Chains A and B, each alone.
Chain A
Amino acid sequence: MGTSPKVGATHFAILAANYLSGVKRQKTALIEWGAQGDFAKIGRLCAGRSAMERLERRSGEPFRVLDVDYYKEAGGAQLLSCLSAGYGRIVLDFGAPGAGHVEFVQCGTQFLIGSLSEWQLDAFWAFNRQHAHKKNRWKTLVAFGSEESRIEAERRLGVAVGRIPLSVDAFAIDYPLMHWFDQLFG
């Protein structure tokens, strides 16, 4: 989940799914929680417009990109069906804070994606103030913002704030990303 819109939560979710599928070779599903609309755009671009139109008629069917199954605008029903579909890992992209918070805190591993860019700092701190009692539940990660801001965030929050390595293409796992995810997932 992102602390606010446009912090890179979907980018991170796609990266994580591609790592789990490409490096760990686990059958992976990526679920877009709610009507964010990003996955429909990805599907049209990667799977093709006609394939997406076919999928529209068969609701609940995923489209596949690089061995990852993408479920667009999904919810509890899709999550339940994925849980029984034999996936090794299911990645949920909650996007910005909203209706999916209950499901987010129920996930086996939770990543909170924030941004420490100056114009997004208020939202980062507002979210963390609101959920201060839960800060140890999730791993907090940031892609944007200075290193000084990240160290300051660690000091003020009292938890580790990880730095997501630069990734220009969410569909390509290079060596630095692989190394970083190896440590993140253990």
Chain B
Amino acid sequence: MAPSVAERLLERLDQAGVSGGLCSIEAAAEFGVDHQTLVGAVKSLQALGEVIEAEARTATRWELSPEGEEVLRCGSPEVRLFRSLPEEGLPQSEAMKLPGGSLGFSKAMANKWVRLDKGAPGGPRVLRAVLSVQDTVQEHLGQVRAGGAQGLPERERTELKRRKLLLEVTLKSYWIRKGSAFSTALARPETELTPEMIATGSWRRLPFKPYNFSSLGLPPACGHLHPLLKVRSQLRQIFLEMGFTEMPTDNFVESSFWNFDALFQPQQHPARDQHDTFFLLDPAEAPQLPPGYSSKVKKVHSQGGYGSQGYRYEWKVEEARKNLLRTHTTSASARALFRLAQQEKFTPVKYFSIDRVFRNESLDATHLAEFHQVEGVVADRGLTLGHLMGTLRQFFTKLGISQLRFKPAYNPYTEPSMEVFSYHEGLKKWVEVGNSGVFRPELLLPMGLPENVSVIAWGLSLERPTMIKYGIKNIRELMGHRVNLQMVYDSPMCRLDV
């Protein structure tokens, strides 16, 4: 096996003597290898420790450009023009066609080697102005080519550079010397411990290549959960810790009845407009509404009852049958509460759900036609607004939000209603983090729940806390197929309480 460049370099250094050094460029020329290859060898030797010392140097070298090469071969344009010009001169237009051309002409004019007789018969004529000329440009280039660039006056070099005949090349090189641990016997340090080394005990005498601790490790082959999934599982965890049972929400298609009417939301309510809700073409209508219950809902809307004045309008079953993509998971809560009311004996419950809802909204950086709603519901005898606030405080504290205040609000299906605000340290203001309230009796009593049972509930979106937690500005990077996978790869684990 032929000795490697590194080995040859060590040999060569050994010959140079202790005090001597070596230029990497010269060494490359001597070994007949590319300079880069030699630099590679220097780097690999440096990695071994103090075997060699290499001092980085920057050298400037002058080289001839392709045009410069041509001038060196054929002479400068001005000289070529001068020499081709006959003694009687030529009309200007023809002189331009001589070797050297217009560039040679203008240079020769500047040097006052030729002159232009404007009054000559038949138009301006170019005539020689001196007898002979010397091609200093060619000579200078020759001098550079012979390695004598340093001998040229600065002014000349600059002029040749300006004429793009000379190029200044910067060369990085090394001045190589023996290091304190110099040895020609290249004992290549081991990169890794092997089973053989352990078996033979050779590890005791072998040098090991040091690790580069500042580089990054190999990324593990692993999956990445979407940030929404991470925040969702945290929220589920919080609900489960608080004793909440997950509600079934596996029906994106819902009837207007469960989405609105059961929640005592009147049929003329703006949310029931085409502009706010996606209605279905097929299946356009729900085949069945709960028979006894829907007539009670009709009555409480149109005539009142259960202590209510009602909305006093003509309730239409066709309107209630209209199918839609559910606009909130509260429709699922209504179904769960209805099931609860059908039990023989009422038992207190705590329910939660986190699932997809759909709104016919104008799409922008913070609004999508579908998003996730987080909802919590507690049904028990004698629950108060204070209980709602206490529950909210527990929930939001677990979310890492401790500074809360409550603003009176209006929701069609809760009364009293309160918006939950938290103080945002970054924005230095109170921001809304959720909506809540006590379900109206007009909603609960027709279901058949006992009169002294109160139901408190609250909701928030899953996307908003996720966007805040992960610093995502555009919801379209979070939801939908335009999700940014790099963001998914890079997002850290979710701990909401810190």
A binds B: no
